[in-house]
Amino acid sequence: MKFIKDKYTELSVLDKQKYIKLIKDKFERKLAHELDLTRVSAPLLVTKESGLQDDLSGVERKVSFDILGGKELEIVQSLAKWKRVALNKYSFPIHKGLYTDMTAIRRDEKMDEIHSIYVDQWDWEKVIVRNDRTIDYLKRTVKKIVKAIADTNRILKIKGFDSVDIYKDVYFITSQELLDMYPDATDKEREYLITKKYKTVFIIGIGEQLSNGKPHDTRAPDYDDWSFNGDLLIYHEVLDMALEISSMGIRVDKDTLIKQLEKAGCEERLQYAYHQSIIKEELPLTIGGGIGQSRLCMLLLGRAHIGEVQASYWDKEILMQCEKLKIELL
């Protein structure tokens, strides 16, 4: 675990809890204002046949269980698909949207200083029109999210905690351009190099195969349009790393859904109700994403481990390592 102690500020558990509450309260209001979003309630559970489960990269095992009567339910891995259905169900107008608190369990997540089996994020989605399905619209949306982060950090400083600086100027680069820039580096090494240089970076185009025959990273084929999506990375000084704060994008339309399912070899998903709704063009065109709540708190408070800002399960190795480094987990 790479840990730069002179960048780390000691905080009591009670002070951390106070600032976590401040960050979450202020950021969600800033986000709602910037993107014109309304808060809604969201499910923890979905059925497999609904097609609403987020399959992430396609290999993660869901947490599922049966209830009285034999019905099997799955804990959501994200709400990427549910949100689009909700926008239609609640009749949201064009350029208006929703956000919600999403919690999930990802049982196959490898635990470390930034990964936990417990996931908490703000999931958001808004209605767009076909002319909005452009890189320019995606970039404008990213800039609004970064503004909300920077404004929240400014409030944190006013309230007495001055730990990090957030660079509001976003450096945009496509995943192919990033590969061309650092052809001998791995995807994570490329992310680190570009983010350490520019501090706030958005990598466009996640999921599509690049010139080296591989995608920059895997992405489910049935929610993001791989041409109009990306990851928001911000440099985290304490861990000297590129910290992914958000994965987001313009969602698939009918043609893109079919094309990406074919590329991924997942055509059988077309039988699900969600996918049929896109094919029949019953759902609105949308843009959306997830913003990690614990990740954002970890960034703005300059924490060395995500367990400092969320209560989760940690194995003995992590507990011993944090104790040795005097990192107090919740």
Spell out the residues 6+ positions from residue 69 whose beta carbon is closer than 8 angstroms to its own: none
pLDDT at 58 over 70: no
Task: Out of 3.40.50.300, 3.20.19.10, 3.30.930.10, 3.40.50.720, select the CATH number for domain 5-324.
Answer: 3.30.930.10
pTM of the model: 0.93
User: Among residues 330, 299, 289, which one has the least CA distance to residue 152?
Assistant: 299
> Where in the chain are the domains?
5-324
DSSP strand pairing (64-66 vs 45-46):
unpaired
Phi, psi (5° rounding) for residue 26?
Answer: -75, -40
Spell out the residues 6+ positions from residue 326 whose beta carbon is closer than 8 angstroms to its own: none
How far, rounded to the nearest angstrom, does the alpha carbon of residue 218 sit from its chain's CA centroid?
A: 13
pLDDT at 273 over 80: yes
Mean pLDDT score, 103-113: 87
DSSP strand pairing (171-174 vs 200-204):
parallel
Residue-averaged pLDDT of the chain:
92
Residues with a catalytic annotation lie at 54, 106, 121, 231, 244, 247
Lowest mean pLDDT among 131-145, 150-164, 197-211: 150-164
Query: To the nearest whole percent, how much of the chain has pLDDT over 90?
Result: 72
